[in-house]
Amino acid sequence: MGQRARPTGYMENSVSYSAIEDVQLLSWENAPKYCLQLTIPGGTVLLQAANSYLRDQWFHSLQWKKKIYKYKKVLSNPSRWEVVLKEIRTLVDMALTSPLQDDSINQAPLEIVSKLLSENTNLTTQEHENIIVAIAPLLENNHPPPDLCEFFCKDFGKCPRLRLFTQEYILALNELNAGMEVVKKFIQSMHGPTGHCPHPRVLPNLVAVCLAAIYSCYEEFINSRDNSPSLKEIRNGCQQPCDRKPTLPLRLLHPSPDLVSQEATLSEARLKSVVVASSEIHVEVEHTSTAKPALTASAGNDSEPNLIDCLMVSPACSTMSIELGPQADRTLGCYVEILKLLSDYDDWRPSLASLLQPIPFPKEALAHEKFTKELKYVIQRFAEDPRQEVHSCLLSVRAGKDGWFQLYSPGGVACDDDGELFASMVHILMGSCYKTKKFLLSLAENKLGPCMLLALRGNQTMVEILCLMLEYNIIDNNDTQLQIISTLESTGVGKRMYEQLCDRQRELKELQRKGGPTRLTLPSKSTDADLARLLSSGSFGNLENLSLAFTNVTSACAEHLIKLPSLKQLNLWSTQFGDAGLRLLSEHLTMLQVLNLCETPVTDAGLLALSSMKSLCSLNMNSTKLSADTYEDLKAKLPNLKEVDVRYTEAW
């Protein structure tokens, strides 16, 4: 075994932090990658890291060490206490704003101040008080010590005792005089003072604690009697008696113009009032109703319909009340409040939405008005988040399952606001990656009534939805179309948007009129506005080949491209056309045969939508962010695809 190499020459002596005069990131052109430059007496030292993350870690750590050395030196020999107080405040600010996540970041300043106080015993009461006030923010925002962090880094799913301990600890905090304020500070300490929590296991563990605690509120009732409502009963707003008699059959009728206008009724059911009492929960059920006919159903499917179909067949009148005992009520309030707090953190919201997407709550909780009313805040936060990974979790985790969108839609068990949250969810979902036409079809089949009611009340989102239904020919029934038009014309905003729709339809007829060129190439540097201006200048019903290569068009031009009925070849080479435009094209230009996306910013999110363009025979995805999995998926779903260019992609 050879001897360890000894540092020689310039590196024989270590560089002390006190000798570092300046630390800089190398950012000039052609500079070595991931390098730091340290300025010391007599020269400079260049440090190269393996990646940018490690380089930034070194940079902030060296700056921290350098500044801490300076404050230790300044505060070790105080002369004027006004200057000392100012330096302490600056030191505290530095600790609070540091991007570093380490126990010493907050501990080192406290040790410096502690040493200062121990060495200067002749301070006046006022000076003591001023110093304590100066360091107070540091004490309040101090993140958990290493032991607590290590505790929360364990998987509570595999450590039920730790989960139970944390559950009881939070309840104990909630029983203090300050109550939820103490719990809120505990959650803040778990997250840490910066914008991103450094401990990835903290959120799942807190959610696991909340779910277990919420379940425990209903557990005694669930275990003591076999009378918890089924999800179908919750949908219908009723609960079966304790003897669990078979539910009344509920038949959904296939859509038909005649059936829509007819009334179909089921036999009237009278369920006796049942009162079930335990130490924690009281349930009283009274139900007398005549069910309304369903509007739609999956043809040939006799299985239990999913919630989006059932929401329109709620009983005419039903009452269900669930009352918890005092202790269970406090527990429920505490942990629902924690879920609200978790939803307020931007970095936690995507993971929280994903964890709650399967609706991991007992059926009793979904039938409990107080619970769904309080949880509405969390769902609202998801609906307000522009990130697709968050608001996509409002929908069901897979087909046939129920999602928050259905539960909080008008007619759903959790809807208590005449559809305001529903409108917010529709607005954010329509603007994201979902197939607009498919989503509109679902709304037209299941939620047309609530959409029209909200539009009648002036809700702009619903006015836009009704206009889109008319524009995309979603509604086939003439009477329904006339009713939608009457609804739009009954409000100022609706009338204005309907007039704009009529103008667009007239322009569309002119655009699609037979005639004009079969091939068209826009000059380089052309913009979306130039394309719109050109297409509005005449008829392009014969246009089959359009080249927008090397222009400045974006996804915004897709709304004009989908109006070209004969388009078969589209060249978007080296444009800024992205995923949003690609999704719109895939819905409307299903007859497109040749598509060039070379050097465009499209990703898998948009490319996957191409699977609906069954006529594609030539597809160029050269130099895009195509992945190998997406490529294999497209090959399997596009039977006519013969020419494919995937050079300079992951799939190459």
Higher pLDDT, 104 or 64: 64
Give the number of other CB atoms < 10 A from CB of residue 290.
13
Residues 6+ apart with CB under 8 A from 21: 39, 40, 41
> pLDDT value at position 154?
62
- For the segment 583-628, what is each residue's pLDDT rounded down to a tens digit? 889 988 989 999 999 999 999 989 999 999 999 999 999 999 999 9
Q: Name, in order, each residue with C-beta under 8 angstroms of 269's C-beta and a sequence gap of 6 or more.
A: 248, 287, 288, 289
Residue in 164, 84, 145 with CA at minimum distance from that of residue 119: 84
Kindly report the CATH class assigned to 513-645. Answer: alpha beta
Of residues 399 and 527, the one with the higher pLDDT is 527
Residues in CB range of 547: below 8 A, 6 or more apart: 519, 520, 521, 522, 571
Q: What is the residue extent of each domain of the chain?
A: 13-140, 143-241+271-289+315-390, 435-510, 513-645
Q: Which residue has the tokens 């309304």?
A: 292
Q: What is the mean pLDDT of the chain?
A: 77
Tens of pLDDT, residues 195-253 = 888 888 889 989 999 999 999 888 876 765 555 554 444 444 433 333 333 333 333 33
3-class secondary structure for 485-504?
HHHHHCCHHHHHHHHHHHHH
- CA angle 268–402–255, rounded 5-degree value: 55
The pLDDT score that the predictor gives to residue 231 is 45
**Mean pLDDT of the 437-466 span:** 87
Check whether 437 has a pLDDT greater than 70.
Answer: yes
**pLDDT of amino acid 626:** 94
Tokens encoding 557: 């031009």
407 backbone dihedrals φ, ψ, rounded to 5°: -65, -35
Identify which has the larger pLDDT, 234 or 42.
42
51-67 pLDDT tens trace: 888 888 888 888 888 88
Look-up of token digits 């006030």: 133
pLDDT at 434: 54
Give the least confident one: 311-320, 415-424, 428-437. 311-320
**Tens-place pLDDT, residues 472-486:** 888 888 889 999 999
- Centre a 10 Å sphere on the Cβ of residue 638 and count the other Cβ atoms it contains: 19
Give the number of residues written for the chain: 652
Pairing of strands 594-596, 569-571: parallel
User: Strand ranges (DSSP E) for 206-331?
Assistant: 269-277, 281-289, 319-324
Q: What is the pTM of this model?
A: 0.55
Report the pLDDT averaged over residues 338-363. Answer: 93
d(CA 282, CA 278): 7
